[in-house]
Structure 1
Amino acid sequence: MSSFTHTPPSLDGNVFTADSLLQAYLKRHSHKLDCTSATQSPLQQPSIATTTKNFDYRQLENELRNLGHLAATTLPNLATIAEKYPPQHIAYDAWQNRVDEIETHPAWKELLRHAAESGIVGDGYHYRSTQYSRYARLVQFAKLYLFDAQCAVVTCPMAMTDGAAKLMETQEGLVSRFREVYEGLISKNPKIAITAGQHMTETRGGSDVSGATETVALHENNDDYKLYGFKWFTSAIDAQVAFTLARIAPKGSTVDDVLNMTQEQKKKIPLSLFFMYIREPETNKLNGITVYRLKNKLGTKALPTAELKLHGASATLVSPVGRGIACISPMLTVTRTWNAVCAVSKMRRIIHLVRDYSTKREAFGKKLGVLPAHVQTLARMSVEYEGCFHLVMDCAKRIGFTEVPDSSSEELRQNQELVRILTPLAKMYTGKVAVPLISEGLECIGGQGYMEDSGIPAILRDAQVLPVWEGTTNVQALDVLRVLKKHPQAIMTLMNRVQRLATKGHSLHQTPTCPTLDDMLKSIRETLLKSLKELSQYMEQMKQSRSSDFVEAGARGFAFSLSRVYILALMLEHAFENTEYERDLHAAHSFVRMHTPLVNVEQVDESRRKVDQILAMGEFRSKL
């Protein structure tokens, strides 16, 4: 009998040194180009150009090379072990005392240690006062991008930790009030570092926390309260602290009053934000918390996620009364950006594995890497990933620009507006793209990619949570509509930036004039300008429409169209400023061909909505 063996795909010991896109992106951001002319051909070197250094790329390169080695070797091995030995809920001790201990494997604890030491949270804060300054967030998220792909999703508690630190910074007096907690959240020292949870989702579930939250807070004294409620989905229950939402009971209420409040009574009370310790600092016992069970999920198996009952949990009011939703907005900006970066990280990992496997696996007498059908599939995957990379990193760096602004108040305003619109776009687009792209990558590897012990199925399972966590695709699309309604200037700022990039007239490097490249550039520019016009026309239709159903039905199409247009503009910008102009222009042009038309919003009138209702609900319509 002949043997059946395959040489497995390899990460070659370092995922940073193999990542030319990340290197090129960081190199071009490490310096700033000043040109005397904005009208030259993009295929010609500006006659006078000077550069100023934003940060020392060589120093950063050393950090990322070390992290790239860790991410290619230690992290996947630890992730495999942590997945094999998932967390356990120990409800009672040997003497029938309720203890609710959550036991995690040492591999999970090692992953948490590496996460802290690598600075995937801390660098976003500590690096603000270093040479990286306003690029601290870009550096932080570049590290996260390298770290996340195969780490048993230890990045979930780290995302919430970053979000908690950001929230504390934005609430006046909160950092000084809980200085030790804040320092622990951003620490790179594993002996000091702590993690945070977000206890938001309740029994009725979903992203509608304002309507679904039933937890009630009973006043004790000053800002101290006791919380009563049920948290249906709480990730990272092994964290040390958490932020949660609750409704403050009317003055003079008792515990019995709180427990007997109806759903309608609770709904009339606006939400406030609270800080709580998971365990009492003095006794290390759970703080008025009963763990009902750990969640059995499709993926993220090593991540302890639980259902909790709060029965008199001590908490501190940290928002103005009734302003809880508004106060968690900065936290959501951070956690949604983490979600997007992790999506791109997983896309990059599967592409790396497929590329390497394509040099080893043979079919029909040839290496996969030269078979036309395989090459076309992988090329399209690569272009899609590159577009997502640019969208996410642009969002990440602009968060940093809002935290460490330059001297221009106008530049700060524009970056704040861009972050407001880019956050839901990046989270929505990358989460939705990641799952089919990773599935395609698994298919490219074939039957071996379907085997659990290859480690590849875990990437796909873990990616499936990305379109769900921090708000589903439709929730993000509706958030884009809210931005359009409440902050229309944010979308106009984005579209104005696309306009500038579409008409940009210079590049960093010398590239010979080539008719084919000229034609591609002209086509890309025309596509961008045409798409801007179509977006403007649709926005005017939404503005004039009196039907909220018409607007909401087109939300997803509009948000994806806006994402694609901005991605193409960013890919064009990268081609101008990178040294691989021809290759990058081909990538941008391929993106156009893959997504023509860029603006694709189905206009759904009343008759079409009725048809959709029939098709969507079928025989279940009578139950609505």
Structure 2
Amino acid sequence: MAGSTHTVTNQPPPLTGYDAYSADLALASAVERHLAPELRDEVRAELAALGRTCGSAQVQEWGALANANPPRLRTHDRYGHRVDEVEFHPSWHRLLGKGVSAGLTAAWTRPGGHVRRAAAFLLWTQVEAGNGCPLSMTHAAVPALRADPGLAAEWEPRLTSRVYDRELRPAGLKAGALFGMAMTEKQGGSDVRAGTTAAEPLAEPGTYALRGHKWFCSAPMSDGFLVLARAPRGLTCFLVPRVLADGARNVFLIQRLKDKLGNRSNASAEVEFDGTWARRVGEEGRGVPTIIEMVAATRLDCVLGSAGLMRQAVAQAVHHCTYRKAFGGRLVDQPLMRNVLADLAVESEAATTLALRLAAARDDGGERERALLRIAVPAAKYWVTKRCAPLAVEASECLGGNGYVEESGMPRLVRESPLNSVWEGAGNVQALDVVRVLRREPGALDAYLREVGLARGADHRLDAAIRSLLTGLADLEGVEGRARRLTERLALVLQGSLLVRFAPPEVADAFCASRLGGDGGAAFGTLPSTLDLASVVDRARPRL
């Protein structure tokens, strides 16, 4: 029977049927800024089409279904044969297929590829973050494989393909392939040099048999994996194919899947190797320098993924408050709520602007830009990923009790928000990496200071923050104990310099006042009330 006690009113319409790219002014302007003029029309059309896909009700439903139906491990077939396969909901395959066809693994093959791919990855994360893992791993494997030109020639065309081929068969028979990664072990965690997995040379040059375990294996249904193991000359990087050239399954024993807080659509596994066939990548004993190219790319994806989650959380919050009325007016017009939304919007824009600047440095590839990435990527990875969780929680609160209900989608964002801070090295790992760069690579700090120096004189609070940072950098004695604080300041000053140069004045003013000038509190919603907060919120509003 239909209820007749009341009429449903004062509820916002669903945030569907819109172009998530064109509605994100911070992202769209960053893409235009970092692309060559002759590419802009093509890329604008490409990303707008993806934005409409991301904003469609059907694709959003795929994301919800993939998350609500986690993968299942099937170790044996009905006859008792070991198969070690992971079964996914059909929506997972639909999403992964869309991601591959959108070029999320093809940055290395196109002009402006890293900027256009970064924007697409940021958009696609907003639909469903779990399938970003195999897309990120596959994208990031390319520079690591280039340590062996023969392997790169064999695998790179498949990894950068726009064809999603989900079947387990020899890579030579596939039109497209995906990659995973397995580095950490039970006893080591982030200390990958504590790994005990052994690699015994075989008769064929460059081939080995692996024996050991990996505590975390990303995307276990991939076609190949980059794995660290101990060869006779030390820790070495290996390529482990899932299926051998003759069609036989490689020994790849999936012990169990991780039961994770978030990222539930994606499979993360514990695996064991027992005579597993592998090809060496790079030189023996040079495993970490070889695989670090992959880690650097995935760390940037952590920044992009967090920026995408932040943008979606802000879009949902601003959208809700635009349509929801309370206390005689729209929520978005209430001074205190406007302050909260503006603060969230500033954080989101700062993350997006920084992430796209780093992607542009990848495209440039020059010596100075590479040096900038060496210090800016771990600093950005540290700071942006840490800001994601409190932002997601605050944004869900903007929806009131509705934000605590699964149907709103906000709890999924909250559960997802801490992941990128942990993945590819938690906060301490990133901060210590920054310290190592400061001590060993003076060219990286020089590139950083040149970058932030481009905004000198434009805002007195930024100038003061740069001076304070230089004072902190002058004495690195005992720096490890304050490495987090130093890394935070590096990231904030870089974000401030970019916003002062490229963002609307009201956004840059709010950032510098609250993040650099000390005129803001620890919680969101504490911006100075004298700022133009209405314009900041309006810029962040997704337009249907």
TM-score, normalising length: structure 1: 0.78
User: 1:593 — aligned with what?
Assistant: 513
- Are 1:26 and 2:31 matched, yes or no? yes
| Equivalent residue, structure 2, for 1:535 | 469
Quote the Cα distance in structure 2 between the aligned partners of 1:479 and 1:538.
Answer: 17
- Pick the aligned partner of 2:416 from 462, 471, 474: 462
Counterpart of 1:557 (choices 482, 485, 489) is: 485
Contact 2:147 2:282 in 1 (8 A): no
Secondary structure at 1:554 match in 2: helix
- Please state whether the residue corresponding to 1:359 is helix, strand or coil: helix
Q: For residues 339-354 of structure 1, what are the structure 2 equivalents within 5 Å?
A: 339-354=302-317
Q: In structure 2, give the amino acid aligned to 1:112.
A: L
Q: After TM superposition, give the deviation of residue 2 of structure 1 in Å.
A: 4.1
Tell me whether 1:423 sits opposite 2:377 in the alignment: yes
Is residue 216–residue 229 contact of structure 1 (8 Å, CA) maintained in 2?
A: yes
Describe the superposition over 1:492-521 as per-residue Cα deviations: whole angstroms up to 9, x where unpaired.
Answer: 221122123214xxxxxxxxxxxxxxxxx4
Q: What corresponds to 2:12 in structure 1? A: 7
Task: Report the CA distance between 1:203 and its aligned residue.
Answer: 1.1
Identify the residue that residue 16 of structure 1 maps to in structure 2.
Answer: 21
Conserved in 2, the CA contact under 8 Å of 1:11 and 1:352? no
Aligned in 2, Cα 1:445/1:9: closer, same or farther, shift over 3 Å? farther
Counterpart of 1:309 in structure 2 is: 272
Q: Equivalences for 1:13-412 in 2 at 5 Å?
A: 13-30=18-35, 53=37, 55-73=38-56, 74-122=58-106, 124-127=107-110, 133=111, 135-176=112-153, 179=154, 181-191=155-165, 192-211=175-194, 213-221=195-203, 222-249=205-232, 270-285=234-249, 287-402=250-365, 412=366
Q: How far apart are the structure 1 equivalents of 2:397 and 2:188?
A: 34
| Inter-CA distance 30–288: structure 2 relative to 1 (3 Å threshold) | closer
Task: Tell me the CA shift for residue 112 of structure 1.
Answer: 1.3
Q: Percent identity?
A: 29
Matches of 2:239 and 2:14 in 1, distance apart? 46
**Alignment partner for residue 486 of structure 1, among 430, 440, 457?**
440
CA shift, 1:419, in A, is: 1.2
SS in 1 for 2:420: coil
> How far apart, CA to CA, are the structure 1 residues paired with 2:291 and 2:206?
18
Q: Please give the alpha-carbon distance, in whole angstroms, between the structure 2 residues aligned to 1:501 and 1:485.
A: 25
**Distance between the aligned counterparts of 2:70 and 2:47, measured in 1?**
30
Structure 2 CA distance for partners of 1:107 and 1:281, relative to 1, 3 Å: farther
List runs of 5+ in structure 2 lacking aligned partners: 166-174, 519-544
Output the CA distance in 2 between the equivalents of 1:383 and 1:553: 29
Distance 2:19 2:516 in 1: 36
Paired amino acid for 1:486: R
The CA distance in 1 between the partners of 2:361 and 2:401, in whole Å, is 42
Moved more, 481-490 or 145-154: 145-154
- Offset at residue 102 of structure 1 (A): 1.3
The amino acid that maps onto 1:188 is R
Maintained 8 Å contact 2:379/2:488? yes
Assess if the C-alpha contact under 8 Å between 2:26 and 2:353 holds in 1. no
> How far apart are the structure 2 equivalents of 1:413 and 1:365?
58
Deviation at 1:533, TM superposition (A): 2.4
How big is the shift at 1:330?
A: 1.3
CA positional deviation for 1:209: 0.7
Instruction: Give secondary structure in 1 for the equivalent of 2:276.
Output: strand
Partner Cα separation in structure 1 for residue 85 and residue 335 of structure 2 = 55
Q: Which amino acid aligns with 2:51?
A: G
Amino acid at match of 1:28: R
Find the counterpart in structure 2 of residue 607 from structure 1.
none
* Whole-angstrom CA distance in 2 between matches of 1:10 and 1:229: 48
Which residue does the alignment assign to 2:542?
Answer: none
Q: CA deviation at 1:198?
A: 0.5
SS at match of 1:160: helix
Kindly indicate whether residue 368 of structure 2 is the aligned counterpart of residue 414 of structure 1.
yes
**2:523 equivalent in structure 1:** none
Residue 205 of structure 1 deviates from its aligned partner by 4.4
Distance in 1 separating the partners of 2:430 and 2:405 = 34
Cα drift, residue 17 of structure 1: 2.2
Contact kept, 8 Å, 1:477 with 1:559, in 2: the verdict is: yes
CA contact (8 A) 1:170 1:330 kept: no
User: Alpha-carbon deviation of 1:13?
Assistant: 2.3
Measure, in 2, the Cα distance between the counterparts of 1:30 and 1:339: 22
Decide whether the 8 Å contact of 1:116 with 1:193 is kept in 2.
no
Q: Secondary structure at the match of 2:419?
A: coil
Which runs of structure 2 are paired with 1:568-587 in the superposition (5 Å)? 568-575=496-503, 584-587=504-507
Relative to structure 1, is the Cα distance of residues 422 and 171 closer, same or farther in structure 2, using a 3 angstrom cutoff?
Answer: farther
Contact 2:71 2:87 in 1 (8 A): yes
Give distance in 2, aligned partners of 1:12 and 1:371: 27
CA–CA separation in structure 2 for the residues paired with 1:201 and 1:490:
28
Q: CA deviation at 1:4?
A: 6.1
C-alpha deviation, 1:96, in angstroms: 2.5
Question: Which amino acid in the other structure matches residue 222 of structure 2?
Answer: A
User: Based on CA coordinates, which of the two structures has the bigger radius of gyration?
Assistant: 1
C-alpha contact 1:158 1:195 (8 A) present in aligned 2? yes
CA deviation map 1:400-442 (0-9, x unaligned): 111xxxxxxxxx2211101111110121111001111011111
For the 8 Å contact 1:83–1:152, the answer to whether it is kept is no
CA deviation map 1:520-568 (0-9, x unaligned): x4xx2x33333222222222221xx2xxxx3111100000001111111
3-state DSSP class of the match of 1:183?
Answer: helix
**Residue type of the alignment partner of 1:24:** S
* Partners of 2:401 and 2:384 in 1: CA distance: 26
Q: Distance in 2 between matches of 1:393 and 1:420?
A: 16
- Letter aligned with residue 307 of structure 1: E
